[in-house]
Amino acid sequence: MTDASNAAPLDNIYRTIQSDLDAVEISLKDLGGSSNPLIAEINRYLFEKSGKRIRPALLMLSAKLCGYEGRDHVFWSTLVEIIHTASLIHDDIVDNSTLRRGQDTVHSRWGANITVLLGDFLYIQSIAMALKTKSYDLINILADVTAQMIEGELIEYSMSGNPDLTEDLYLEIIDKKTAQLFADSCQIGGRLAGASPADVGRLKDFGLHLGLAFQIVDDLLDYTGDATTLGKPVLSDFREGRITLPLIHSFRQTAGKAREDLICGYRDRAVDPNAAAKIMSAVAKTASLDYAFDRASSYVAKAKEILAAFPATEHRESLDRIADLVLRRKK
């Protein structure tokens, strides 16, 4: 089941795959039955509250769009969600985040040492489960995408606090840390269905564009969102020094002395109590939130255009509606 505040739009879109998503939920909750009591306890904490399950949904709908009638999509969707969860608990350590989905992050509760190990355990467990299938092409995709996610996260961290971050490099970061897993979730769905290379390529491209839009909106919500709805504090990217599209655009649109002041203001964010307000006003002055939203909208438009090459089925309709929801989402 999805959380209540997401339930109305998502439950409706997920209608045709709800029983399969429920099966994923059961497999995830089974991880809470680990024989190690600490692993069991943390897994129960992690999987008791469900997220949007967007990656499993993309995998399932992509498979069904290509005529898949088997059951393996539940297993591969579970793996994709485990990898995503492992990445988030690592990301929360890197980002010093204390809240996710409205609850304490794992490292705030159990400490970073245990959490890193638990994240590693979850990840390697998903690969060990995948290896049992001997589907080496799919396992390869999972290993490659994880390497890309780590690389994206590394580039992002190394560029923290650096106002020279360009839009191109930002796009490379979000491509690697977020969009590739969207692309590969769709790709795995297509491959499970035995789709043609052209259709698998289209699905991957659809997921890629959707993933780019998803992360741009995620970064926008850090400026515009409501902390209670989001289940995490706003302006946390800014406080941690992560420079995302609105700020990149604002820096780029500001010249001379105003740019120097803006960069100084940004650098003083830890000591100046008015830093957040100043940055918000700079971002408003340069219409940078609108710019970022327009960029996300273009990626969604492209994703929908790619999807339109598939036959008009209820599964295509669901994917199309997920694309719309990525732009409208509040959490």
CB of residue 150 vs ligand FPP: minimum separation in angstroms? 4
- CB 174, CB 216: distance < 8 Å: yes
**Which of 95-103, 126-134, 254-262, 267-275 is the region at the interface with Mg ion (rule: CB under 5 A)?**
95-103
Query: Closest Cα to residue 316, out of 22, 16, 70?
Result: 16
Q: Is 91 an interacting residue with respect to Mg ion (CB under 5 A)?
A: yes
What backbone torsions phi and psi does residue 100 show, to the nearest 5 degrees?
-145, 135
CB of residue 236 vs Mg ion: minimum separation in angstroms? 8
Of residues 135-164, those binding ligand FPP (CB under 6 A)? 146, 149-150, 153
- CB 195, CB 203: distance < 8 Å: yes
Site string for ligand FPP, 163-182 (x = CB under 6 A): --------------xx----
Give dist(CA 160, CA 157) in Å, integer. Answer: 5
> Please, which residues bridge with residue 184 across strands?
none
Give dist(CA 327, CA 156) in Å, integer. Answer: 23
* Binding-site member from 95, 205, 218, 222 for Mg ion (CB under 5 A): 95
> Please, which residues bridge with residue 99 across strands?
104
Q: How many residues does the chain have?
A: 331
CB of residue 92 vs Mg ion: minimum separation in angstroms? 6
**Which residue in this structure is represented by tokens 């739009």?**
9
Report the residue number, 95 or 199, with the smaller CB distance to ligand FPP.
95
Give dist(CA 211, CA 59) in Å, integer. Answer: 13
Site string for ligand FPP, 188-227 (x = CB under 6 A): ------------------------------x---------
- Looking at residue 286, its amino acid is T
Q: Is 184 an interacting residue with respect to ligand FPP (CB under 6 A)?
A: no
Cα separations in angstroms, 199 against 61, 63, 140, 165, 206: 14, 11, 19, 35, 10
Give dist(CA 301, CA 311) in Å, integer. Answer: 18
Site string for ligand FPP, 56-85 (x = CB under 6 A): ---------------------------x--
Q: Which two tokens stand for residue 177?
A: 């840390």
Report the residue number, 24 or 221, with the smaller CB distance to Mg ion.
221
Given Mg ion, ligand FPP, none, residue 319, with its beta carbon under 5 to 8 Å by kind, binds none
Of residues 89-128, those binding ligand FPP (CB under 6 A)? 90-91, 95, 97, 119, 123
Q: Is 222 an interacting residue with respect to Mg ion (CB under 5 A)?
A: no
* Residue of closest CB approach to Mg ion: 95
Helix (H, G, I), strand (E, B) or coil at 160: coil
Q: Where on the chain is the footprint of ligand FPP (CB under 6 A)?
A: 83, 86-87, 90-91, 95, 97, 119, 123, 146, 149-150, 153, 177-178, 218
